[in-house]
Amino acid sequence: MVNDFKMIAKTFFGLEKILADELLSLGAKKIEIGVRNVSFYGDLGFLYKSNLFLRSAIRILKPIKYLKINNQKDLYSYVYNFNWEDYISIENTFYIESVLNTEIFSNSLFVSQRVKDGIVDRFRKMFNKRPNIDKENPDIKINIHITKNNCTISLDSSGKPLNQRGYRLQTNIAPINEVLAAGLIMLSEWDCESDFLDPMCGSGTILIEAAMYATNYPVNIKRETFLFKNWKNYDSQMFEIIKKSVLKKVKTFNYNLIGYDKSPSAIKKCNQNIINSGFQSIINVCENNFFNTKKNNDNFSHLLFNPPYGERLPIDIKSFYKEIGDTLKSNYSNSNAWFITSNLESLKFVGLRPSRKIKLYNGKLESRLAKYEIYSGSKKIHKQRK
């Protein structure tokens, strides 16, 4: 349509295809998968909907200018001559983030400073006043991305990363990022037609993300702050209409969401986060050591968890992962079990052959999401559950 424009959704390595699938289901156009990002087209309302609904996106950028730069002076000149007054008011605060993959510049802070100088100098010349910088809570956030001699200037529509859903007030050591947790759920191909168990649930992030996924609940519907609300073309009426429309698509979930953790403090924090998320009616957690548990019925179960790992939490890797495998084999037949680990050697100790391994990053740590299909009985040939 004539009002469509290009947007870029940022994500983590390994979640790009998941994000593209989300965008397609929302109605995005001209979807292109990049590295840690997916570009797409839509209108202003779709930008609002993307911020509210995308589970695997970290932020949504709107490119406003493309430049070819051959030297450092080019950047300042182009920025100075750009019509910033169409996007920023003197009363606004702003901040600039720069990402570089170029030999023209070696320092991202220098790039941000030069862009800031160009914007400020233009405002001073035109209005004899300038907008101020605010690093912590700017009204307008500008993203500069330079690859070789190609420079893209974008507005950040999200502000704080979209993983900050607002429900997680309590955390444990090494909490998993909400966007990564949502990505794991979608990568694990859970169809929402079975019980879901996180046997090492910590502060409950995976369980809460699973509840939102199973009910088609928009992950950022309770979030108050989006930087697009400070844009000159912000349409508050349209935003409220879109919020109501996405809430109409929420559905019921008819199975069980269960969490275990052996730490009493973890369970306490988990329950507080679940209550804050509003999903206490469908998530049940209890203090329990996974290695002492078993399935309480013959129905198919879907397990997904983020075990402790040696870089942040001290454990005996060999015995710990062997016990994971032993517990799955003995007590969780007729299940698919997925877990993520950044200790790549640990998978050797599980004692089961993973049917899939997906490369991801948990923070800066290279990780694997491994799938184990636990069958009942002693049959050697089974049909994979659809």
CA angle in degrees (0–180, nearest 5) for 307-9-275: 45
* pLDDT exceeds 60 at position 381: no
* pLDDT exceeds 80 at position 173: no
Instruction: Tell whether 38 and 100 lie within a shared domain.
Output: yes
Instruction: Tell whether 189 and 94 lie within a shared domain.
Output: no
Instruction: Tell whether 213 and 350 lie within a shared domain.
Output: yes
> H helices within 81-235, ranges in order?
108-127, 178-187, 205-214
Can you read off the two tokens belonging to residue 301? 């179960």
**Cα Rg of the chain, angstroms:** 23
Instruction: Tell whether 273 and 367 lie within a shared domain.
Output: yes
Q: Give the bridge partners for 366, in sequence order.
A: 361
Nearest one of 326, 342, 330, 333 to 303, comparing CA atoms: 333
> What's the mean per-residue pLDDT of the chain?
94
Can you read off the two tokens belonging to residue 69? 């730069």
Please check whether residue 266 is in contact with residue 289, taking contact to mean a CB–CB distance below 8 angstroms. no
- pLDDT attached to residue 314: 67
Instruction: Tell whether 133 and 261 lie within a shared domain.
Output: no
Residue 170's SS3 state is: coil
* pLDDT exceeds 50 at position 383: no
Q: At what angle do helices 236-247 and 44-53 cross, to 10 degrees?
A: 50
- pLDDT attached to residue 308: 79
Q: What is the mean pLDDT of residues 104-119?
A: 96
Q: Considering the domain boundaries, does residue 164 fall inside one?
A: no
Q: Which CATH number is 124's domain given?
A: 3.30.2130.30
> H helices within 188-337, ranges in order?
205-214, 236-247, 264-277, 317-331
Higher pLDDT, 385 or 198: 198
- pLDDT attached to residue 309: 66
Q: How confident is the model at residue 385 (pLDDT cuts 50, 70, 90)?
A: very low
* pLDDT exceeds 60 at position 124: yes
Q: For residues 281 and 217, what is the distance between their CA atoms, to the nearest angstrom? A: 14
Can you read off the two tokens belonging to residue 379? 């049959």
Q: For residues 160 and 145, what is the distance between their CA atoms, to the nearest angstrom? A: 18
Q: How confident is the model at residue 357 (pLDDT cuts 50, 70, 90)?
A: very high
Q: Considering the domain boundaries, does residue 170 fall inside one?
A: no
Q: What is the mean pLDDT of residues 111-136?
A: 97
Longest Cα–Cα distance of the chain, Å, equals: 81
Lowest mean pLDDT among 33-42, 185-194, 224-233, 315-324: 315-324
Q: What is the mean pLDDT of residues 314-324?
A: 89
* pLDDT exceeds 70 at position 288: yes
Instruction: Tell whether 129 and 183 lie within a shared domain.
Output: no
- pLDDT attached to residue 377: 59
- pLDDT attached to residue 118: 97
Please check whether residue 349 is in contact with residue 314, taking contact to mean a CB–CB distance below 8 angstroms. no
Q: Considering the domain boundaries, does residue 190 fall inside one?
A: yes
* pLDDT exceeds 80 at position 220: yes
- pLDDT attached to residue 315: 74
Q: What is the mean pLDDT of residues 207-235?
A: 97
* pLDDT exceeds 50 at position 332: yes
146-168 residue pLDDT tens: 999 999 999 999 999 999 999 98
Phi-psi region at 194: left, alpha or beta (left = phi > 0; alpha = psi -120 to 50)? beta
Q: How confident is the model at residue 313 (pLDDT cuts 50, 70, 90)?
A: low
Percent of the chain residues past pLDDT 70, beyond the cut: 95
Q: Which CATH number is 324's domain given?
A: 3.40.50.150
Q: How confident is the model at residue 296 (pLDDT cuts 50, 70, 90)?
A: confident
Q: What is the mean pLDDT of residues 255-270?
A: 95
* pLDDT exceeds 50 at position 132: yes
Task: Output the pTM of the full model.
Answer: 0.93
Q: For residues 386 and 373, what is the distance between their CA atoms, to the nearest angstrom? A: 12
Can you read off the two tokens belonging to residue 305? 């968890």
Q: Considering the domain boundaries, does residue 38 fall inside one?
A: yes
Q: Considering the domain boundaries, does residue 238 fall inside one?
A: no
- Side-chain-side CA neighbours of 163 within 13 Å: the count stands at 17
- pLDDT attached to residue 157: 99
- pLDDT attached to residue 360: 98
- pLDDT attached to residue 171: 73
- Side-chain-side CA neighbours of 219 within 13 Å: the count stands at 28
Q: For residues 146 and 99, what is the distance between their CA atoms, to the nearest angstrom? A: 6
Domain hosting 69: range is 5-156
Instruction: Tell whether 268 and 369 lie within a shared domain.
Output: yes
Q: For residues 353 and 261, what is the distance between their CA atoms, to the nearest angstrom? A: 25
Instruction: Tell whether 29 and 140 lie within a shared domain.
Output: yes
Q: How confident is the model at residue 316 (pLDDT cuts 50, 70, 90)?
A: confident
**Structural domains in the chain (count):** 2
Q: For residues 202 and 178, what is the distance between their CA atoms, to the nearest angstrom? A: 13
Instruction: Tell whether 324 and 190 lie within a shared domain.
Output: yes
Q: Considering the domain boundaries, does residue 298 fall inside one?
A: yes
Distances (CA, A) of 117 to 75, 111, 297: 11, 10, 66
Q: Considering the domain boundaries, does residue 269 fall inside one?
A: yes
Q: How confident is the model at residue 312 (pLDDT cuts 50, 70, 90)?
A: low
Q: What is the mean pLDDT of residues 279-305?
A: 95
* pLDDT exceeds 90 at position 230: yes
Instruction: Tell whether 349 and 203 lie within a shared domain.
Output: yes
Q: For residues 106 and 101, what is the distance between their CA atoms, to the nearest angstrom? A: 9
Q: Considering the domain boundaries, does residue 204 fall inside one?
A: yes
Q: Give the bridge partners for 62, in sequence order.
A: 155
- pLDDT attached to residue 282: 97
Instruction: Tell whether 187 and 46 lie within a shared domain.
Output: no
Instruction: Tell whether 281 and 138 lie within a shared domain.
Output: no
Residue 325's SS3 state is: helix
Secondary structure element (H or E) that encloses residue 52, with its range? helix 44-53
Q: For residues 141 and 95, what is the distance between their CA atoms, to the nearest angstrom? A: 5
Please check whether residue 210 is in contact with residue 152, taking contact to mean a CB–CB distance below 8 angstroms. no
- pLDDT attached to residue 376: 77
Q: How many CB atoms lie within 10 A of CB 212?
A: 24
15-73 residue pLDDT tens: 999 999 999 999 999 999 999 999 999 999 999 999 999 999 999 999 999 999 999 99
